Structure 1
Amino acid sequence: MQIVDIFWPAFTLAVLLVYIHSIFGIEIIRRGVIFTDLAIGQIAAVGMALSIAFLDGSYRTLLVLSFAVFAALVIAWASKNLKNVEAFIGLLYALGISSIMLILANSAEGLEIFSKLSAADILFTSKDELYTSIAVYIPISLVMFLIYPRTKGFFKEILFFVMLAITVTSSVQLAGVLVVFALLIAPAYIGVVQKRFNPMVVAWVSGIFAIITAIIGSYSYDLPTGYSIIFVMVVVSLVFVVFNEKKSLEEK
């Protein structure tokens, strides 16, 4: 019971993270812009690095949100106006990661900070962090389910990328850039490749199973929680996709 009392915010946050990121992940895979979230997350992390390096952590959320929205708007514009947009998005990611390394170059804890920006530990999530996440993610999910499907054209693009940017602003600070990427792509990939059930439901179920397994494993074996989540998410996704493809070929 004591363990449950300590870690229930982390488990609840894990379920919430899978819920919100699967919504965007399925759309990202269908659009064929897989690295969009990674680029936005990395550019958003530049804002966090600036806050840590120069402002003692002040204005962190404002800076992260500003950088995330800027990246989202740039990608929304590029999606409509540039050819080979994946190459453009990949360069944005490279710009983000190199900027962070330059910002943290003179910090004694630069590598440690960079590691946390990539994959943070959600095991000891506080109740306040959980409640803040709920307050952010639930309205975003309502927008994506109720308003987004009714929009068209460039406004639809802007709405999608801005909602993604706001989501990434929160989740990057809690979980790290690479964890966010795994949460967006791995469960959604499972949901999209199978054809029997609703992709969103499958993404939620598989993602929750993977992230809870990762958290329990990281606690039991004293492993880094963030990287455990990435590892388990990716392994579960790859195994499912390979066996699903094998089954599909056998049925033919």
Structure 2
Amino acid sequence: MTLGTLDLTIILPAFLAGLLVLATHIPLGAQVLKRGIVFIDLAIAQIAALGVIVAGSGDLDPQGWAVQVAAGIAALLGALLLTWTEKRWPDVQEAQIGVMFILAATGGLLLVAHNPHGGEHLQDLLAGQILWVRYQQLLAPLLGTVLIGAVLYFFNERLSRLGFYLIFALAVTASVQLVGVYLVFTSLIVPSLAVRHYADGKRLPLAYAVGAGGYLAGLVLSTLLDLPSGALIVWCLTALAILVYAAGPKPQAQRQAH
């Protein structure tokens, strides 16, 4: 396939799905870095994926509301558990997040062990099937994005730990089934890493530009080269983030400016 024969009807809904994910994940990712709980997104995303696997074992429609609810409940329970562990053992919270991720990941492996299509389903949840997203799948994530975006806009600095974890869980629940666990982590962390030394007023616009550029480049290249979209978007987004970081102010210069 060449650029002249590129099918925009496939790429556009996938790109819109990426923008929906970025809309909430970039501000949440900045908070994750600020709070020093980088791997919380992987843990909660994996827990949400586990909820999808559990619901799927009951022969439910993978795109149905029942699966969405199951993923949401699983993610919310994970968020509540992380809130409790942070209060109980705050000095090892990052380690506890890692343990939760491993338990959720291996729990998913055990649940699909006897399913002939289990490996394929697990791969879809990890790497995602963003290139095959259709417009009708974007309605629920759009509503969730508007709600979460409003909460972050009006209450961002006033969110308690529990409030942050719950909002985070809801955001991750919707995005895992759209783009997969790998892209959830990348969308949250990589743009914020790229712009962390820029001036405050430039960080958010640049982070969105990095995210949108990475998604668009990855989708176009995956279509042209017939490569897995999710994996290629991760690499494109990361490469663009490295360029933006390299072109930005250095940490020492930033400290001297202050």
Q: Is the shorter-chain TM-score for this pair beyond 0.5, marking a shared fold?
A: yes
Per the alignment, residue 151 of structure 2 pairs with 143
The one-letter code matched in structure 2 to 1:142 is A
- Structure 2 residue 129 is the aligned partner of structure 1 residue 121: yes
Q: Which residue of 2 aligns with 1:37?
A: 41
Q: Could you tell me which runs of 5 or more consecutive residues in structure 2 were left unpaired when the two chains were aligned.
A: none
Structure 2 Cα separation of the partners of residues 5 and 91 of structure 1 = 41
Q: Name the structure 1 match of 2:20.
A: 16
Rounded to whole Å, the distance in 2 between the matches of 1:189 and 1:77 is 28
Asked if the contact 2:60/2:67 (under 8 Å) is kept, the reply is no
2:166 is the counterpart of 1:162 = yes
The equivalent of 1:188 in structure 2 is 192
1:184-218: CA deviations, max 9, x gaps?
11111112233374322221111111111111111
Aligned equivalent of 1:99: 107
- Report the counterpart of residue 228 of structure 1 in structure 2: 232
> How far is the alpha carbon of 1:73 from its aligned partner?
1.2
* In 2: Cα distance, 1:45 partner to 1:111 partner: 13
CA contact (8 A) 2:48 2:74 kept: yes
Deviation at 1:11, TM superposition (A): 1.7
Partner of 1:73: 80
Corresponding position of 2:52: 48
How many matched pairs?
247
Residue 239 of structure 1 deviates from its aligned partner by: 4.5
Q: Which segment drifts farther, 195-204 or 185-194?
A: 195-204
In 1: Cα distance, 2:185 partner to 2:217 partner: 18
The alignment's C-alpha RMSD in Å is 2.2
TM-score of the superposed pair, with normalisation by structure 2: 0.87
Q: TM-score, normalised by structure 1?
A: 0.89
Matched, 1:62 2:74: no
Contact 1:148 1:159 in 2 (8 A): no
Equivalent pair of 1:43/1:96 in contact (CA under 8 Å): yes
Instruction: Kindly provide the CA deviation profile for residues 45-66 of structure 1, in whole angstroms up to 9, marking residues without a partner as x.
Output: 1111112233344621111011
CA positional deviation for 1:78: 2.2
